[in-house]
Amino acid sequence: MASGWGQAGLLAALVAALYAPALRFGLIWDDPRWYQQGAGLPAWRLFTALPTYQFYRPLTLLLNRQLVSPEGVVNAPLAHGLQIGAHLAAVLLAGPVLRGFGVAALPARLAALVFALFPLAHQAVAWQAPQQPLALAGVLLALWAAQRSYAGRPAAWLGLSVLAYAAALLVQESALPYAVFFVWLAAGRWRASQHPRWREWPLAHLAAAGLYALVWLSVPRQAGVTGAGFQPLVLAYLLQGLVYPAAWAGARLGLWAGWSPAAFVLAYALAAALLAAAVARWTAPRVAALGLAWAGAGLLPIWAGLSWDYVSTGARLLYPAGLGIALLWAGAMAWTASAGPPWRRAAGAGLLAGVLALSLAQIWQLQQLYATGTRHLARAATELAARPGEQVAFVNFPDRIVLEPAPYPLGTWGLWLAPVGQDLAGFARAAAGQSAADRSLAVFPAGAAERAAWPYRVEMRGADSAPGTVWEAATWADALYLTDYVAGGELALRLAGATAPASTAEPLARLRAGGAAVALLAAEVAAPETAGGPARLRLVWQALTPLPGEVTIFVHLWRGGAYWSAADGDSLGGLLPLWAWQPGRALTDWRPLRPQPPEPGEYNVRAGLYTRTDNTRWTAVSAAGEPFAEDEVPVGMLSVP
């Protein structure tokens, strides 16, 4: 008993250590208003079909209602905690439930360990919205309670079993196929006892499953999500999850390039068959049969009912099948303790080490990616919440961040952070109860080199926008923010500027070339936007005439009377060329100041305009008409400690 409790404690500690960072991830992906499905309705109405929700998951809706405050703030840490807790419960129940099906102690314990680390379960646990962990925990609790009914107080345990299974169904329909395992469990006792109870008790579970299926099929649902089943590519994707270590190894070796869905299906089905046959021969036929049946109960409904567009981003869909997949691989790992030939024990040990190392590495990689993306989304939500009643534009904000190279050949692997179809303001309201209005757009050339060197592949919110669209967004917004893709895999959100009505105040300088003219209205060296970030330069410009196409801004840093480095480029962080400026409005341009190399000391900051084609500077004079030396306007001092 002590050993069993000790193993359970180690498993619990492992799951907690792996997924504790998710408590800080906040809301991801889903429209935060989804948590308010059925708001204002009595609780009993959630158990009827809602026209705004295409699935029948009344307990999920009831639970989500508890996560939302009267002000509309969603308790994201608690939502993540529920996901982690459900996964932990499923992991701790996995071993005892498998033992109840006649699986030996070693493969049952290894299966619980592999399932705890199943890398394809990461999305289901680290994202706060999926219901698969809660549903599976309910199924396993129901099976465990049914097994307990064989010894003492059978009616109480059977009652708990039926209630747990009914609750799992009302959380999510992924629990439905597992009704067959209550029959399987009872069938193992029919041969050992003639008592009628062993024949009759699964009928309550089957009745609950049948009633739920009738209700679920009658619920109206959106077209294109369910019903488009039996696609070969979906089957290939699901079989890929069944043999995930082999799929990963093949991807690293480049074996799958150019394969058709049929070829994937054949290859992965053959790999799964070989694995099951080896487990049946050298561990136990029961382990192979149970693993395949459990995995099939989770995977077949997905293949039958969901489209590729839905499945391709949904590793969470594999979560219920994950225990069966883990049992198959655990059956092969159990060879480490077999009495067979040394080669088989070595193969089991190598497989154990390899699969666990692969799983830990992939979960760590995904956790880092999720942490990067969710920190950035939280920063945007903070900025929006701090500006109620204002308008904010975001440029090049990430929609989806994808691992590169992909760990598996089929599907999208990464983080769908904030789809462009929903406003970022929804995340701010869910976090703080208030928000500015927002827009998102993308400018593909801006930061293209940095994104190309970034360790992840990114898809941004919005289509590629022309300079005129950027000017319009900067005119609409009180503030325009640009996302920077920082070397090493980080994201930075920085204020790039905005436009305002024209000023009649005396400018700091006027700059001319030919018949074109610009006024520099104000300049300021400001503190870093975030702790540890670079100092910033604020320049306020106003075009006095239409500007030619090759003019741009230079900002030079001088130290000890000598040129040190530059921060040249178009306005708004390179988003807006100067020819797109429209006379009659002032443009505030924020740009970071980073002396290169960053030696401590005092730097003179000077700015001006020049023509790219011939590097000719525009003539710069003061408001009184006095020329500036070298046509450089002194705009401030930068002190680097």
Average pLDDT for residues 116-138, to the nearest whole number? 97
pLDDT at residue 531 in the model: 82
pLDDT single digits (tens) 287-305:
999 999 999 999 999 999 8
Average pLDDT for residues 312-329, to the nearest whole number? 97
Q: Which of 117, 11, 101 is nearest to 330 (CA)?
A: 117
Phi and psi at residue 492, to the nearest 5°? -130, 140
Among the residues of 104-131, which ranges form H helices? 105-116, 122-126
According to DSSP, the residues that pair with 497 across neighbouring strands are 480, 589
Chain-centroid distance of CA 113 in Å reads 24
Phi and psi at residue 479, to the nearest 5°? -155, 140
pLDDT at residue 614 in the model: 93
pLDDT single digits (tens) 160-186:
999 999 999 999 999 999 999 999 988
Lowest mean pLDDT segment, chosen from 6-15, 93-102, 247-256: 6-15
Q: For tokens 């757009």, what's the residue?
A: 441
DSSP labels for 302-345? Answer: HHHHB-HHHHTT-GGGGTTTHHHHHHHHHHHHGGGG-SS-HHHH
Instruction: Check whether 200 has a pLDDT greater than 70.
Output: no
Tell whether the torsion through CA atoms of 527, 530, 532 and 536 is positive or negative.
negative
Question: Model-level pTM?
Answer: 0.93
Domains of the chain: 2-340 (no CATH), 341-501 (no CATH), 505-641 (2.60.40)
Rounded Cα distance, 317 and 310, in Å: 10
pLDDT at residue 59 in the model: 94
Rounded Cα distance, 481 and 74, in Å: 25
Band (2; pLDDT cuts 50, 70, 90):
very low
Mapped onto helix, strand or coil, the DSSP state of residue 414 is strand
pLDDT at residue 153 in the model: 64
pLDDT single digits (tens) 366-416:
999 999 999 999 999 999 999 999 999 999 999 999 999 999 999 999 999
pLDDT single digits (tens) 327-352:
999 999 999 988 789 999 999 999 99
Instruction: Check whether 193 has a pLDDT greater than 60.
Output: no
Band (6; pLDDT cuts 50, 70, 90):
confident
pLDDT at residue 199 in the model: 57
Instruction: Check whether 585 has a pLDDT greater than 80.
Output: yes
pLDDT at residue 47 in the model: 85
Which residues does 463 contact at the CB level (< 8 Å), separation at least 6? Answer: 441, 442
Residue 203 C-beta-side C-alpha neighbours within 13 Å: 6
pLDDT at residue 167 in the model: 97
Torsion of CA 123, 125, 131, 132, to 10 degrees: 80
Q: Is 389 left (phi over 0), alpha (psi -120 to 50) or beta?
A: left
Band (219; pLDDT cuts 50, 70, 90):
confident
Band (1; pLDDT cuts 50, 70, 90):
very low
**Percent of the chain at pLDDT above 90?**
79
Query: Do 346 and 328 meet the contact criterion of CB atoms below 8 Å apart?
Result: no
Lowest mean pLDDT segment, chosen from 57-71, 103-117, 196-210, 582-596: 196-210
pLDDT single digits (tens) 486-539:
988 999 999 999 999 998 889 999 999 999 999 999 999 999 988 888 999 999
Average pLDDT for residues 54-65, to the nearest whole number? 89
pLDDT at residue 218 in the model: 82
pLDDT at residue 113 in the model: 97
Lowest mean pLDDT segment, chosen from 153-157, 204-208, 315-319, 463-467: 153-157
Which residues does 261 contact at the CB level (< 8 Å), separation at least 6? Answer: 231, 232, 233, 235, 236
Band (221; pLDDT cuts 50, 70, 90):
low
Among the residues of 339-476, which ranges form H helices? 342-385, 425-432, 448-453, 467-476
Instruction: Check whether 470 has a pLDDT greater than 90.
Output: yes
Single-letter residue type at 390: E
Lowest mean pLDDT segment, chosen from 188-202, 230-244, 483-497, 502-516: 188-202
Average pLDDT for residues 121-144, to the nearest whole number? 97
